[in-house]
Amino acid sequence: MGLEMATTLRKVTKADRGLLHSWRNQDHVRFNMYTSHKITQDEHHSWFDAVMIDESKKFWIIQSDGEDIGMVNLYDIDFDRSECCWAFYIGRTDMTGKGIGSAVETRILNIVFGELKLSKLKCEVLAFNEGVIYLHKKFGFKQTGILKARVERDGEPVDSICLEMTAEAWGKSSLAA
């Protein structure tokens, strides 16, 4: 069985609060997020409680062979504008680089354009995260801009690359399921 078949998504539940907190505080996850500080338990609980009731957001746990390995989310879901944004991370370092990102990307594109019937999916990726930028472009995302000095890492400004995919482009893609 290939990774795409073994990779599934399940909705985040209240029982995932601690797991997400531990993943969000891992160095490799924090480094690629806009907020890179260690997240306190109180800060995490406030964030978690807010996202669980926010209808403009959807969160899933990424599973591989039934094991929880990461998180993917849609945010800024706007049915009037027919668009949303997304982000994901693999929380388990032993599961990175195994093609799981491609499986997650396929699933999210099908959710956004197939199930939710939105017209556009957008994301931002820190400029140094070339692997994820490449992944998105491989799927047909187009770069739409650069946010200069979006964050700071090690005292240096880091740009963010803006990317987007349309339902029309995904429908024409050979990668569409």
pLDDT digits (tens, 9 = 90+) for 3-47: 444 899 999 999 999 999 999 999 999 999 998 899 999 999 999
At 176, the pLDDT band (50, 70, 90 cuts) reads confident
Superfamily designation of domain 3-172: Gcn5-related N-acetyltransferase (GNAT) (3.40.630.30)
- pLDDT tens for residues 126-173? 999 999 999 999 999 999 999 999 999 889 999 999 999 999 999 988
Token readout for 45 is 């609980």
pLDDT in tens, 73-122: 999 999 999 999 999 999 998 888 888 999 999 999 999 999 999 999 99
Secondary-structure percent of the chain, ordered helix, strand, coil, rounded to 5 = 35, 35, 30
The pTM is what?
0.92
* HSE of 73, CA atoms in CB hemisphere, 13 A: 15
Cα gap 73→89, rounded to integer Å:
9
CA 90 vs. chain centroid, Å, equals 9
Domain positions in the chain are: 3-172
In this structure, the number of other CB atoms found within 10 A of the CB of residue 165 comes to 25
Phi, psi of 163 (to 5 degrees): -135, 155
